[in-house]
């Protein structure tokens, strides 16, 4: 009997501005490469309460993981911006709000703006495809066209943002993340050479998860029409029920992507092939210095396997003579939780 690979599915990650976040069983680390060549780290223990039986139930754990990943994404993106010393200049409207109403009301308005942005995204990806396909009389064809339109809108959006310079580099870091995880899961020494030789398309990627969610959504849409016949004539009712069942769609998509990440057969390859094809847009071949960042983040996220002395092993870093005075001053100011090499 073939022994199960205990490293499969143990580590996940996310690309950020000029860096990568890696998450292991016990903790997660975000590593960002600064302009001077140094790498700054931000490490924290995982906060999901895995001891809670309810959170570990199939399907439920997918919803919990999705919400947790969204919260973690905001945190890691903010850290990357701080590490790169990116400061967004206030718009004239924001300055007027601050001057007229003060900081507190400005923050509330910005929060409302974020919510409106999320609602716009929901309208674009959830509601628009349903209403564009609503003219079709055949219910099965209508739901299939809805799914195709949703995937087309997603592909168009990803293709457009990939033209931006910063997004291109982020997609290169995305490739470095996948390659380093493949290297780890194969049990190979974590070196730049070994990582460079790996594939950049991973079946457990968030892109594949999004596509699987959309495909599962087509099936759920067909089931809604069968269980609730009134939705065939009432698009608003259909969208309301589908929105209520969105956690179920997330949970089923998560279970499929989790299963795919731990198995390899003809059926799994067929199910994950759409997501792997789209990764040709969302991942690019990384440079060696990007791979180094991925290795630092990966080792740091697995303190049970790699000591602090091994985290930066074989990594190219600036010598003290190469560091600028401001960089050296900032290095001294770092807290124990946020360490810079």
CA distance linking residue 170 with residue 261, whole number of Å? 23
H or E segment to which residue 279 belongs: helix 266-282
For residue 100, is it within any domain? yes
Contact 173, 295 (CB under 8 A): no
Is the pLDDT at 188 greater than 90? The verdict is: yes
Structure tokens at 140: 């099965």
Tokens 């890696």, located at residue: 22
For the chain, the distance separating the N- and C-terminal CA atoms, rounded to the nearest angstrom, is 45
Contact 38, 323 (CB under 8 A): yes
Contact 314, 209 (CB under 8 A): no
For residue 3, is it within any domain? no
Q: What domain count does the chain have? A: 1
pLDDT tens digit sequence for 212-249: 888 888 899 899 988 998 888 888 898 899 889 988 88
For residue 206, is it within any domain? yes
Contact 210, 154 (CB under 8 A): yes
List beta partners, residue 330: none
pTM (predicted TM-score):
0.77
| Beta carbons within 8 Å of 52's beta carbon, 6+ residues apart | none
For residue 56, is it within any domain? yes
Is the pLDDT at 322 greater than 60? The verdict is: no
pLDDT tens digit sequence for 64-103: 887 877 788 878 888 888 888 755 555 666 566 566 656 5
| Predicted confidence band of residue 338 (pLDDT cuts 50, 70, 90) | very low
Q: Is 86 helix (H, G, I), strand (E, B) or coil?
A: coil
Domain span including residue 91: 12-333
Edge-first strand order for the sheet with 39-45 is: 12-16, 19-23, 27-33, 39-45
For residue 5, is it within any domain? no
Cα-Cα-Cα-Cα dihedral sign, residues 99, 102, 107, 108: negative
For residue 152, is it within any domain? yes
For residue 116, is it within any domain? yes
Of 50-54, 157-161, 176-180, which gets the smallest average pLDDT?
50-54
Question: In 10 A of CB 316, how many CB atoms?
Answer: 11
Contact 260, 273 (CB under 8 A): no
Report in angstroms the alpha-carbon separations of 97 from 87, 107, 171: 19, 9, 35
For residue 7, is it within any domain? no
């Amino acid at each position: 009997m073939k022994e199960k690979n205990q490293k499969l599915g143990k580590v996940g990650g996310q690309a950020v501005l000029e860096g990568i976040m890696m998450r292991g069983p016990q903790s997660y680390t975000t590593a960002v490469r600064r302009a001077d060549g140094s790498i700054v780290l931000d490490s924290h223990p995982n906060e999901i309460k895995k001891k809670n039986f309810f959170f570990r139930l199939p399907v439920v754990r997918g919803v919990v993981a999705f919400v947790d990943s969204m919260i973690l994404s905001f945190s890691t993106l903010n850290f990357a911006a701080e590490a790169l010393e990116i400061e967004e200049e206030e718009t004239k409207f924001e300055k007027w709000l601050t001057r007229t109403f003060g900081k507190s009301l400005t923050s509330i308005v910005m929060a409302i703006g974020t919510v409106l942005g999320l609602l716009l995204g929901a309208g674009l990806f959830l509601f628009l495809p349903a209403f564009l396909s609503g003219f079709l009389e055949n219910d099965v064809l209508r739901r299939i066209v809805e799914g195709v339109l949703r995937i087309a809108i997603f592909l168009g959006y990803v293709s457009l943002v990939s033209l931006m310079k910063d997004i291109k580099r982020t997609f290169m870091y995305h490739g470095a993340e996948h390659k380093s995880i493949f290297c780890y899961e194969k049990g190979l020494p974590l070196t730049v050479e070994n990582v460079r030789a790996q594939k950049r398309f991973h079946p457990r990627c968030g892109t594949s998860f999004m596509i699987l969610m959309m495909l599962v959504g087509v099936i759920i849409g067909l089931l809604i029409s069968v269980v609730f016949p009134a939705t065939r004539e009432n698009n608003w009712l259909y969208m309301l029920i589908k929105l209520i069942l969105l956690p179920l769609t997330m949970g089923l998509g998560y279970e499929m992507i989790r299963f795919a990440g731990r198995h390899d057969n003809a059926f799994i390859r067929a199910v994950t092939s759409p997501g792997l094809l789209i990764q040709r847009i969302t991942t690019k071949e990384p440079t060696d210095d990007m791979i180094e960042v991925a290795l630092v983040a990966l080792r740091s996220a697995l303190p049970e396997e790699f000591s602090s002395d091994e985290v930066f092993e074989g990594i190219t870093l600036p010598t003290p003579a190469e560091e600028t005075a401001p960089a050296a001053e900032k290095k001294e100011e770092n807290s124990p939780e946020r360490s810079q090499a």
